[in-house]
Amino acid sequence: MKHEFTAIVVPSEEGGFGAFCPEVPAANGQGETIEEAKADLALAIELVLDLMCERALREELPGAIRETVMVG
């Protein structure tokens, strides 16, 4: 399943580009080109979301019901 996120890409003072995602504030990326920065950001988004999911599953409350919900 694919999801779309916003990538804000800005030139870096040192050269290349930095990128961040407003929907996933902990994720950012960098690269020599815009495409490299976006690819790095995509990986960071995936890693942050996986980590958030792992943490949430570890902290599951007693009596909680786990269900799946589809988005978009």
Per-residue pLDDT, averaged over 42-59, amounts to 89
* Domain assignment present for 64: no
* Domain assignment present for 17: yes
* Domain assignment present for 12: yes
Taking the complete model, does pTM exceed 0.85, yes or no? no
* Domain assignment present for 67: no
- State how many domains the chain has: 1
Domain range for 53: 8-58
> What local confidence, expressed as pLDDT, does residue 58 receive?
77
* Domain assignment present for 33: yes
Q: Which of the residue ranges 4-13, 25-34, 50-59 would you say has the lowest mean pLDDT?
A: 50-59
Contact 7, 23 (CB under 8 A): no
Give the closest residue to 19 by CA, choosing from 32, 68, 67: 32
* Domain assignment present for 45: yes
* Domain assignment present for 68: no
